Structure 1
Amino acid sequence: MGRLKTLFTGQWGDMPLEELAEKAANWGYDGLELACWGDHFEVSRALDEPEYCQKKLDLLEKHGLDCQAISSHLVGQMVLDRNDERTDGWVPEDCRGDSEKKNAWAIEEMKRTAQAAKKLGVPVVNGFTGSSIWPLLYSFPPVTPEMIDAGFALFAERWNPILDVFGECEVRFALEVHPTEIAFDIPTARRALAAIEHREEFGFNFDPSHLHWQGIDPVRFIREFPDRIYHVHIKDAAITLDGASGILSSHLDFGDPRRGWDFRSPGHGGVDFEAIIRALNDIGYEGPLSVEWEDCGMDREYGAADAAEFVARIDFPSSGRKFDDAFNES
């Protein structure tokens, strides 16, 4: 049997988990990566209600589904961001409109998320870190090296106490390397690891789509960090540069055909998944292959079913032998 084929529930937060679990099983998935929003997985209830986690596991088992990861992208984003009104709906009412209160709440909530993951029995929490220095990406007005240094120092200051709790819970945090995060490519991923002294609790949720459209080789990322690939998203992207818009997307929303790039259902974009599977085999990755389905041009239920078939087709095992070994057999 190959790696687990799972579906990340983040883009399905409007659908009750009971309904989604039944659909996912029928589409051919082996499990779900539960988002910490909607009714899919609620951290406060996991910690406060003795039977909550078991009920979630029972629901999944009813449909023959496993769970190897939960994801807390929204909360993690607020740990480092200079938060504005866009995140007011993600926090308790008394934190709304106050960036520092959001930062403080998010730090404590991420610690609680590690504890909830332990209680559920999953080894990985995927998510974002946010970034205080992402707005400084283009160096004008001029950005000093000290300003960037301070951003990575703040990352260490705020995330080390969170990672302490992850360590106590024997759960790993997997950052989805992504624009707007402290690490969005290979050099910044190296720097993030160095900032926290390469502690084992912190690694990566490998998602090739965000690397592909930036012009970064996803396979090179895997080979650069073979011991830090804690989870894998299967998501595709298409570069659609037409000479008018670039990869900064021109303030055009997803799905707008004038964009220079957009997400695609797995197998319908430009990501070389065969090369990725070969690289994952080379590093011995045995965790889930989790479909994060995002494609504004395709019906999501059609796309989810199609993606499950795609993952089953591309996930081939390593050979374990050279093709010419047979020449030496009598």
Structure 2
Amino acid sequence: MARPVTLCTLQWGDLPLEVVCEKAKSFGFDGVELGLPSHLDVRRTDPEYYQGIKAMLDKHGLKLFCISNHLIGQAICDNIDQRHKSILPDCIWGDGDPEGIRQRAAEYMIQAARAAKMLGLNIVAGFTGSSIWQWLYSFPPVSDEMINEGYADFARRFIPVLDAFQELGVRFALEVHPSEIAFDTYSARKALEVVNYHPAFGFNYDPSHLGYQSVDYVDFINQFSDRIFHVHMKDVYWSDTPKQIGVFGGHSTFGDARRFWNFRSLGRGKIQFEEIIRALNDIGYQGPLSVEWEDSRMDREHGARESCAFVKQVDFEPSAHAFDACFEK
């Protein structure tokens, strides 16, 4: 049986969950990936609340495999400033004290794991943030000690979170992404090392964030075959010729046609999804393929519908036997 195709609701946070469920079903999706904090209040501890969420999904014939805590997870390790106020709920921002925000964000991440358990799930995807992302380009020169301290800060803050996840039987899937502690294969390996290959720590695989960086996004699957906990299907286009705005984005907004790269609806960018499906089959990944739809120059309903159809068309089951086995008598 082909893998279920789900819709990540992060980009639909302006709509009530019931409306998103109705749309997801009409677009052809098998389930949803609930994005926090818009579509799930993980601070709730009453079983009736979670039963109500499951009943709503059942009503629309949708499955749930994962919840996502990207926005609040970003604040756990980041250097906090006014940008974060625009994405954090008041319960996390509080009085704006950076360390208080980080600690509340970490506790919220643990609450997300508890909520996942209440929903019968074992995966929470999300971000970690990074105290050293601003040193990506090493000038003035950045010392190894400065980078190592950034990873040590990540470990100090996240290992207690991961320990709590493990106690609950839930795993955290970091979306490898610019502005996170892991943003390519090398930094993902370093993140794994500093948390001592914690069994609750792995990755939410999203090829779009690797492709335009010229990172081998298929090899990433092979490198971390036992750590791919969840998969986002998202496409990106990058130019074959020089552009006015380079790979760093030039302080432009997403969708600006002058950029070297932009996210695009699935099948309209440069990601080779055929190779991704084959690699996922090779490692035995049987989880959902979750469409995180982003294309600033396309209507999102049109994009979600065509992306769902695209994923269902490109996915296929692995062979149960070698093709030439039938040659034998």
Q: How high is the TM-score relative to the length of structure 2?
A: 0.97
- Tell me if 1:7 matches 2:4: no
1:185-264 alignment, distance < 5 Å: 185-240=184-239, 241-264=241-264
Deviation at 1:96, TM superposition (A): 4.2
Q: Secondary structure at the match of 1:266?
A: coil
- Equivalent residue for 1:52? 49
- Equivalent residue for 1:76? 73
- Equivalent residue for 1:136? 135
Select the residue among 79, 88, 95 that pairs with 2:85: 88
Q: 1: distance between equivalents of 2:137 and 2:126?
A: 25
Q: 1: distance between equivalents of 2:108 and 2:251?
A: 32
Deviant stretches of 4+, over 6 Å: none
Deviation at 1:130, TM superposition (A): 0.3
Q: 1: distance between equivalents of 2:170 and 2:5?
A: 21
Q: How high is the TM-score relative to the length of structure 1?
A: 0.96
Q: 2: distance between equivalents of 1:209 and 1:88?
A: 26
Q: Which amino acid counterpart does residue 170 of structure 1 have in structure 2?
A: G
Q: Is the 8 A contact 1:91 1:102 kept in 2?
A: no
Post-superposition Cα deviations, 1:67-112, rounded to whole Å, max 9, x if no partner, equal: 0000000111000000111112414366243211111111111111
Q: Secondary structure at the match of 1:259?
A: coil
Deviation at 1:317, TM superposition (A): 0.7
Q: Is the 8 A contact 2:243 2:259 kept in 1?
A: no
Aligned length: 326
Q: Secondary structure at the match of 2:213?
A: coil
- Equivalent residue for 1:127? 126
Task: State the superposition RMSD in angstroms.
Answer: 1.1
How many percent of aligned residue pairs carry the same amino acid?
52
- Equivalent residue for 2:168? 169
- Equivalent residue for 1:67? 64
Q: Secondary structure at the match of 1:143?
A: coil
Q: Secondary structure at the match of 1:238?
A: strand
Q: 2: distance between equivalents of 1:120 and 1:327?
A: 48
1:82-121 alignment, distance < 5 Å: 82-89=79-86, 90-92=88-90, 95-121=94-120
Q: 2: distance between equivalents of 1:88 and 1:251?
A: 19
Q: Is the 8 A contact 2:243 2:258 kept in 1?
A: no
Q: Is the 8 A contact 1:123 1:171 kept in 2?
A: yes
Q: Is the 8 A contact 2:7 2:291 kept in 1?
A: yes
Q: 2: distance between equivalents of 1:166 and 1:113?
A: 9
- Equivalent residue for 1:305? 305
Q: Is the 8 A contact 2:67 2:125 kept in 1?
A: yes
Q: 1: distance between equivalents of 2:243 and 2:175?
A: 30
Q: Which amino acid counterpart does residue 224 of structure 2 have in structure 1?
A: F
Deviation at 1:189, TM superposition (A): 0.5
Question: What 5-or-longer segments of structure 2 have no aligned partner?
Answer: none
Deviation at 1:26, TM superposition (A): 1.4
- Equivalent residue for 2:324? 324
Deviation at 1:250, TM superposition (A): 1.0
Q: 1: distance between equivalents of 2:142 and 2:40?
A: 40
